[in-house]
Amino acid sequence: MAKIQEKNQPAVASPGVSIERGITTEGFSFNAQIDARLTKFMGDNPEITEHYSKLVKEHPDRAIRSFMLRTMFKHDAIAERNALQAPQVREWANQNPEVAQKVAEKIKTTNPIMRAAAFIKGIGRAKANIEFAPPPSTKVGVSIPI
pLDDT digits (tens, 9 = 90+) for 107-130: 989 887 788 899 999 999 999 988
40 plus 84 within the same structural domain: no
Angle at 125 between CA 84 and CA 81, to 5 degrees: 20
User: Strands (DSSP E) along the chain, which ranges?
Assistant: 21-23, 29-31
79 plus 126 within the same structural domain: yes
48 plus 82 within the same structural domain: no
Asked whether the predicted pLDDT for residue 2 surpasses 90, the reply is no
89 plus 119 within the same structural domain: yes
Assigned domain for 29 exists:
yes
Assigned domain for 103 exists:
yes
Is there a contact between 108 and 100 (Cβ–Cβ < 8 Å)? no
Residue 65: per-residue pLDDT:
93
79 plus 128 within the same structural domain: yes
Assigned domain for 11 exists:
no
State the chain's maximal CA–CA distance in angstroms.
Answer: 86
Which domain covers residue 34, as residue numbers? 23-58
Asked whether the predicted pLDDT for residue 27 surpasses 60, the reply is yes
Asked whether the predicted pLDDT for residue 18 surpasses 60, the reply is no
- What is d(CA 98, CA 133) in angstroms, rounded to the nearest whole number? 18
Tens-place pLDDT, residues 42-80 = 999 999 999 999 999 999 999 999 989 999 999 899 999
Assigned domain for 92 exists:
yes
How does residue 106 score in pLDDT terms, banded at 50, 70 and 90?
very high
Assigned domain for 114 exists:
yes
Assigned domain for 139 exists:
no
Assigned domain for 142 exists:
no
48 plus 96 within the same structural domain: no
Assigned domain for 111 exists:
yes
Number of domains the chain contains = 2
85 plus 120 within the same structural domain: yes
